[in-house]
Amino acid sequence: MHATVTDSANSYSSGPNTSVVTLTHLCKNFGSEIIYDDFNFDFKYGTFTSIFGPNGCGKSTLINMMAGLTPYDGGQILYNGRDISKATIGYVFQNYREALFPWWKAYENIEYPLKIKGMPAAERHQRLDELIEQFDIKFDLNRYPYEFSGGQQQLISILRALAPNPEIVFLDEPFSALDYEMTLFIRDKLQLIFTQSKIAMVLVSHDLEDAVFLAEQVLMLSKRPTRVVEIVPVDLPYPRNDRTLQLPEFLEAKRRSLEIFQQEVHK
């Protein structure tokens, strides 16, 4: 599938082999600590990538640099050949409690990125209605964040990330503050979002099962200075479900990822 997405700020082409974001010779230090030294990777449109690696190897730093939240010290990050300021990015934070504006109702939170782009109210409401329909949202968004369950709040922050039709969505540990039932619920919603929109998704998860379950490829990172050890493919169709967990392809991807992880941790 090849699509052209246009919004008020930009337009871009997306195809299966087009890069959404390209990292070249990327370098990042925190003081004397080298996190990345000449790191290179290419994220493609319509691909779901999980990032997995040892604690503190720089997974959050990597997606924060890509999302423009953390500066880098060398190299380049380009969005389809363009500067980040021309790109539309979604970001889902680990802690939904801190991510949502508590003084705004859920729908106002979701509309926020559209508001800062200057979209008129009527169009914002239309986009909100689209999202409600697309994700089959049954709860009333005319309430404040604290009135929702944890899973619902995380879903609200995911809808906010998706509202501006981003080219790529970054999710940093989106399940870590959720119970198991909510994790399953959000996992299913994420699959739905991914298969319907075919944007690029990048997930950081401490849970190897979640990382493999959702992704088409697992980017296995080393200890610092961090490099790509291997890209483990997860060649399984969506939607994935409980039966997926027993399939040989799933088990093999998980086994291989764990093997690499253990080698890295014990180095």
What does 28 interact with, of ligand ATP, Mg ion, none (CB < 5 to 8 A by kind)? none
What does 30 interact with, of Mg ion, ligand ATP, none (CB < 5 to 8 A by kind)? ligand ATP
Residue 238 within binding range of ligand ATP, rule CB under 6 A: no
- CA–CA distance from 195 to each of 9, 29, 46, 133, 226 (Å)? 25, 36, 9, 15, 31
- Sole window of 57-65, 84-92, 103-111, 211-219 interacting with Mg ion (rule: CB under 5 A): 57-65
Nearer to ligand ATP, 115 or 206 (CB): 206
Q: Which two tokens stand for residue 54?
A: 């040892």
**Among residue numbers 185 through 224, which ones bind ligand ATP (CB under 6 A)?**
none
Which of 188, 141, 144 is CA-nearest to residue 163? Answer: 141
Q: How far is the CB of 73 from ligand ATP (least distance, A)?
A: 13
Residue 102 within binding range of ligand ATP, rule CB under 6 A: no
Of these, 46, 58, 90, 151, which contacts ligand ATP (CB under 6 A)? 58
Strand pairing class (48-52; 200-204) = parallel
Of these, 15, 24, 25, 30, which contacts ligand ATP (CB under 6 A)? 30
Which of 40, 37, 47 is CA-nearest to residue 22? Answer: 40
**Among residue numbers 109 through 128, which ones bind ligand ATP (CB under 6 A)?**
none
Of these, 45, 46, 59, 182, which contacts ligand ATP (CB under 6 A)? 59
Q: Report the distance separating Cα 47 and Cα 200, nearest Å.
A: 5
Of these, 18, 60, 95, 244, which contacts Mg ion (CB under 5 A)? 60
Task: Note whether 21 and 64 are within 8 A (CB).
Answer: no
Q: Report the distance separating Cα 189 and Cα 195, nearest Å.
A: 10
Task: Note whether 166 and 12 are within 8 A (CB).
Answer: no
**What is the number of residues in the chain?**
267
Residue 55 within binding range of ligand ATP, rule CB under 6 A: yes
Instruction: Enumerate binding residues for Mg ion (CB under 5 A).
Output: 59-60
Instruction: Enumerate binding residues for ligand ATP (CB under 6 A).
Output: 30, 35, 55-61
